[in-house]
Structure 1
Amino acid sequence: MISYILEVSFSWLIFYLAYILLLQQEHFFGVNRGYLLITLITGLWLPFLQIETTYTYPIPQLSYFLEEITVGGQVAETVEYTNYWHWSSILLGIYGIGVFVGVVRFVLSLQKLHSMYKNGMAEHKSFYTLIKTNSIHSPFSFGSYLFISNNIALEKQAYQYVIEHETAHIRQKHTLDLLLVECLSILFWFNPLVFLYKTALRDQHEFLADQAVLSHVPIKEYGQLLIEQSIPGLKIGLVNHLIYSQLKKRINMMTKKKKSNRPPYFRYALSFSAFLLVFWTVSCSKDLPSEAEAEIAEKLSSEKLTASKYKPTESDKTSPLFVAEKMPRFPGCEHIAGNNKAKKTCADEKLLQFIYDNIKYPKKAKKDGTEGVAIVSFIVSETGTIKNPKILRSVSQECDAEVLRIIELMNENGLVWTPGEDGGKLVDVTYNLPIRFKLK
C-alpha cells in the first residue's frame, strides 16, 4: 500500500511539474484540461502496469538457480514488534478519520446544493435548469443546474454575460472533473498534489468559460464585470463559481497576447516525455540479478569459467555441468504426460513442497532475529543422488546447518532425481538453491 502511494505521488509530481513548467501559461485551455485529467488518472493505474525488462548479466548461464524459497518464522514477542503494530494501527486510524471527514464534507456539500435547489425557483431552459435563490452568493453551476441569486442586482447585459459564462461550464461538463478530483481528494487527503491538481483544473475551467464569453465581448467590459461581482458569499467546493479564484490570474490570462493560433508542439512533446519518464520508473521493473546471483557469478568468473556451458574435458571427467541439454528433475513427476516443460513444472513444485514440509526455522535464529538468504550448491549426480552440498552464501551457523540438513535429507529419504543428460549421456549437474529466512 505504501509503495503504491509513493508511486502514485511520484507520477503526479512529475506530471504536475511538466504542467507548471511547460503548459500553465498556454492559451490552449482545452488541451491543458485534457492533460491534467489524463495524467491524474494515469498516475493511479500506472503502478498496476508492470512490464519486466531483462538485464543481461555478463555470465548468466554459468550458474543455474532454482526458484528462491522463503522460510517464514514467527518472531518472538518484543517491545519493538508491539510498537510496530501499534504505530501502524495509529496511522491507519488517522487515515480513516481523514477519509471520514472528507466524506462528511462531500455529503454536506451535496445536501447544501439540494437545499438550494429545493428552496429556489426553477426555470427549465434548452440544455440546463436555471435556479434562482434568495441566498447571497456568486453565480455558479453544478451539473446541468445554474444557480443565481435574486439578491444581486445585475444589468441586463451583465446578466447575459454571467449566463454565458456558467453555461460554458455546463456545456463542457466541468462538474465531472470536479467530482473526480473531489473523490481523489477524499482518498488522498494527505497528498497536497491532489489539491494542486484541483486548483489547476479549476483555473482551466474558468479560462475556458471566460474564453467562451470573450469570443464576442470586449475584454475591458467583461473584466469590469468580474471585478464588480467579486463579492463574498456561499462557496461550495463541488461547483463552478463565476468568481472563485484570484481575479488577477484570470484577467492576466485574458489580456495576455496570444502568440500563435498553432499549438506549441515542442512544449507538448516535452510534456509527453514526462509520461515516458514515469512509465519507465514506475511500470518497468528491471529484472536485475539479485545480490546473491551477482555474488555467485563473480565467484564463477574468478574461476575463469567463461563459456555458457562448462563441459568436462578428458583430463577432468568428474567436473559437473552447470547447464545440461536435459536438466535433472526432482522425483515424482515422470508419470506426467506431455513435454519436459510440464514435468519440470511438476518437479519444481514437488521440490518446493519437500522443502516446506521439512525445513524448520532454527530457534536460535528466531531468538536473535536472524534473517537473510542462504545459497546452497549441490550436485545431482548421474545416478540421481545428491552429493557435495555446500553453502555458497551464509546467513548464520544455525541457518546454514538447517539448509544442509534439508539437502542431505533427500538421500536419507531415498529420493532419486531424474539425472541430467547431455550429448545422450547421463551427467552430473550443479544446482544453486536460494533459501530466504524471514521472520513474520
Structure 2
Amino acid sequence: MLYPTTAALLNWMWQSTLCLGACWLLYQLLRRESYFHYNRRFLLFTPWLALLLPLLLAGAAPVLSGWLPIDTTPTPLLTPSVTLTAVAMSSQSAASTPWWTWLPLVYGAGVLVWLVRLSWQLVVLWQQTHHLPHDTREDYTLVSSSGKLPVSSFGRSIFWDETADLTLAEASQVLQHELVHVRQGHTQERLLLELVRALLWFNPFVHCYPRALDLTHEYIADSTVLQTMPTPEAPTIYAALLARLTLRRLHPQLPLTQSFTQSQTLTRIAMLQSPRSMRRWKQWLLLPVSSVLICTFACERAADSTAPASVAAASDNEEAPSPPVLVEQTQAAPPPPPIVHQYAEKMPEYAGGLKQLMIDLGKGIQYPEAAKDAKIQGKAFVGFIVAEDGSVQAVELKKGVNAPQELEAEAKALNEAALAAVRNLPGKWTPGSQDGKKVAVSYTVPIMFALK
C-alpha cells in the first residue's frame, strides 16, 4: 500500500517548502547588507534546515506530545492522518489507480535527474580543463588557458587567462580575488548546495539559492581585495577593472566555477560603491522566524501522535444523582477509551492494497434514484477507525453532501449510501503498529457523487 509513504512525503514537501520560503523572504532583508559572511552561512544553513527540520520533528513527535499544549479534539477534515482521494461515483464510474500513489517514484526520479545534471557539469568541466598546462603552487594550482577560458576558480585550481591586458597590480588583484575562493572553500560550499538542491528539487525557493550564494562569494572576494587597496579611490579603480574584464569576455563561463567576470557584475559594482554601515539587528531575525516554524511543525506533529479520546461528561447544570446502592459504589471504573492514532509508523493495510479498497468502495456504493432524479452531486467525508484487531469501527459521517433544504432527504440518501459502502467493505484490514505494538488508526474517506 503506497499511501502512508505518499502521505509522509507530501507532509514533508509542503513543510520544507514553507520553511525555505520563509527563509528566502527573510534573506531579501539581508542581501543588501555588507555582513557577507553571515549571509553566506545563512544561504548554506537554511536549505538543510528546511530539509531536516520536518524529519527531526516527526521523530520527536512522541516526546513533544508530552509537554506541548496540544488540543487533541479530533479534526479529521483539517488534519487527517490518512485521507484517501475522493472516490468519484456515477452510474458508469470505473476504478483506476490514483496518480498520487506514484509520487515517491516521481520524487526519486527528480532527485536522480538533478544528480545526473550535477555529474554532467563536473564531467564537462573536467573535459575542458584537464588537458591545459598545470602549475602547482603552495596552496593552489594555476591552470593557463591561453585566453580560451575566463579567469575563474574551482576547488584548488585557478584558471588564468594570460592573454588579458592587465598591469602587474591589476593581475595581483584578480589573482588575490580568486585565491579567496580557493582558500575559503567556496567550491565545496557550492557543491553542498547543489546536493541539497537535488534533494529539494520540487521546492521553487531552493533554485534561487545558487545564484545568491555565488554573488555572496563574489562580495566576499571583492571586499578582501579592497582591504589591500587603502587608497580612497580603491572602489572606483577596482570597479573599472571588473567592468573592463567583463566587457572583453567572449567565451562562456565554466559550470560550477567562481568567475571573476561572472554575469552579476553590475550588482557587484553597486555593492562596491555602497556605504559600509551594517544594520546588525537584521541578523537576529532568523531566531524568531525559526522559532515560529519549529513551534508550528512541532504542534502539528505532536497533535498527530496524540490520541483524540472522547469522554462523555454530565452537564454542570444537571443535578448529581445520589449513590443508589452500595453495590454500584463499589463497581470498578470503566476502562479508558482506546488510543486512536492519527498516524502510525506502520499504517493499516486493506487486503489487496489501496487499489482494491477503491474498487470495493466503487462496487459497494449505489447512487440513490431519488438523488439521481433531483440531480444532486457532491462529496461526503466518511470517517472510521481500523482497530487493533483489524476491524472497522466507529463509522460516521464527518461531512455530508451539501444540498438545498428542500432536497435534504435526497442528500441524506447519498450520505447513507457512502456510510453503507464503508460499513460493508468485504476485505479485511491488517492493523497498524506503533513501536512494534498494534494500534488503532483513524481514516477519512472522501467519496464523490457525480452524474454524467
Normalised to the residue count of structure 2, the TM-score between the two structures is 0.63
In 2 relative to 1, CA 313–8 (structure 1 residues): closer, same or farther, beyond 3 Å? same
2:315 is matched with which residue?
A: 304
The within-5 A match list for 1:134-213 is: 134-213=146-225
Q: C-alpha offsets along residues 358-388 of structure 1, whole Å, 9 cap, x if unaligned? A: xx99997567798633589xxxxxxxxxxxx
Match of 1:341 in 2: none
> How do 1:264-413 residues align onto structure 2 when only pairs under 5 Å count?
264-285=279-300, 287-288=302-303, 300=312, 303-304=314-315, 313-315=322-324, 327=335, 365=364, 372-374=382-384, 393=396
Match of 2:343 in 1: none
Q: 1:192: Cα distance to partner?
A: 2.8
1:57 Cα deviation from its structure 2 partner: 5.8
- Which residue, 7, 11, 21 being the options, matches 1:13? 21
Query: In the alignment, residue 98 of structure 2 is paired with which amino acid?
Result: Y
Q: Given the alignment of the two structures, is residue 115 of structure 1 paired with residue 124 of structure 2, yes or no?
A: no
Seen in structure 2, the aligned counterparts of structure 1 residues 320 and 375 have a Cα distance that, compared at 3 Å, is farther
Distance (whole Å) between structure 1 residues aligned to residue 334 and residue 327 of structure 2: 18
SS, match of residue 141 in structure 1:
strand
Verify the 8 A CA contact 1:55 1:289 in the aligned structure 2.
no
Supply the distance in 2 between the matched residues of 1:111 and 1:212 (Cα, whole angstroms): 31
Aligned match of 1:102 in 94, 107, 114? 114
* Identity of matched residues, %: 24
Partner of 2:36: 29
Counterpart amino acid of residue 315 in structure 1:
P
Cα distance in 2, alignment partners of residues 280 and 28 from structure 1: 28
| 1:228 maps onto 2:224 in alignment | no
1:124 to 136, 146, 151: 136
CA contact (8 A) 2:81 2:304 kept: no
Residue 243 (1) aligns with residue 254 (2): no
Q: 1:77-96 deviations in whole A, cap 9, x for unaligned? A: 996642623x7659955973
* Contact preservation (8 Å) 1:57, 1:289: no
- In the alignment, the residues of structure 1 paired with residue 308 and residue 127 of structure 2 have an alpha-carbon distance, to the nearest angstrom, of 66
Displacement after TM superposition at 1:141 (Å): 0.7
Find the aligned partners of 2:140 and 2:179 in 1 and give their Cα distance: 8
How many angstroms apart in 1 are the aligned matches of 2:255 and 2:70? 52
1:46 pairs with 2:53 = yes
Displacement of 1:76: 11
The count of aligned residue pairs is 357
Instruction: Give the counterpart of 1:84 among 98, 103, 126.
Output: 98
Corresponding residue of 2:435: none
Q: Distance in 2 between matches of 1:58 and 1:191?
A: 31
CA distance, structure 2, for counterparts of residue 325 and residue 109 of structure 1: 70
Amino acid at match of 1:31: Y
Is 2:153–2:159's contact at 8 Å kept on the other side of the alignment?
A: yes
Q: Matched residues in 2 for 1:286 and 1:49: separation?
A: 10
**Residue 172 of structure 1: CA displacement?**
0.8
The secondary structure found in structure 1 opposite 2:285 is helix
Q: Distance in 1 between matches of 2:324 and 2:222?
A: 88
User: How much does 1:151 deviate?
Assistant: 3.6
Q: What are the Cα deviations for residues 39-68 of structure 1, in whole angstroms up to 9, with x where unaligned?
A: 1111110111224344466999xxxxxxx9
In 1, Cα distance between the equivalents of 2:293 and 2:148? 46
Aligned-residue offset at 1:17? 0.7
Q: Which residue of 2 aligns with 1:379?
A: none
Return the offset for 1:166.
0.4
Shift of 1:289: 9.7
Measure, in 1, the Cα distance between the counterparts of 2:275 and 2:166. Answer: 30
TM-superposed deviation, 1:108: 2.9
Partners of 1:207 and 1:179 lie apart in 2 by 19
The change in CA–CA distance for 1:392 and 1:243 in structure 2 (over 3 A counts) is closer
Q: Describe the shift of the 1:435–1:101 C-alpha distance in structure 2 as closer, same or farther (beyond 3 A).
A: closer
Q: What SS does the corresponding residue of 1:168 show, helix, strand or coil?
A: helix
2:11 paired with 1:3: yes
CA distance in 2, matches of 1:46, 1:285: 13
Show the counterpart of 1:258. Answer: 276
Structure 1 pair 391–319 and aligned structure 2 pair: CA distance change class (3 A): farther
* Matched letter for residue 202 of structure 1: D
Give the RMSD, CA atoms, in angstroms. 5.1
How much does 1:99 deviate?
4.7
Distance 2:337 2:111 in 1: 53
The residue type equivalent to 1:268 in the other structure is: Q
One-letter amino acid of the structure 1 residue matched with residue 297 of structure 2: V
Distance 1:186 1:211, change over 3 A: same
Distance 1:312 1:2, change over 3 A: same
Structure 2 Cα separation of the partners of residues 114 and 36 of structure 1: 27
Distance 2:177 2:129 in 1: 20
Q: Structure 1 pair 16/250, CA: closer, same or farther in 2 (3 Å)?
A: same
Q: TM-score, normalised by structure 1?
A: 0.65
Residue-by-residue CA offset, 1:159-210 (whole Å, 9 max, x unaligned): 1111100000011101112102222333444433122111111111000000
| Preserved contact between residue 14 and residue 274 of structure 1 (Cα < 8 Å) | yes
1:219 partner amino acid: P
Residues in 1 aligned to 2:81 and 2:274: alpha-carbon distance in whole angstroms:
64
- SS of residue paired to 1:49: helix
- Structure 1 residues not aligned, in runs of 5+: 61-67, 331-343, 345-352, 377-389, 406-432
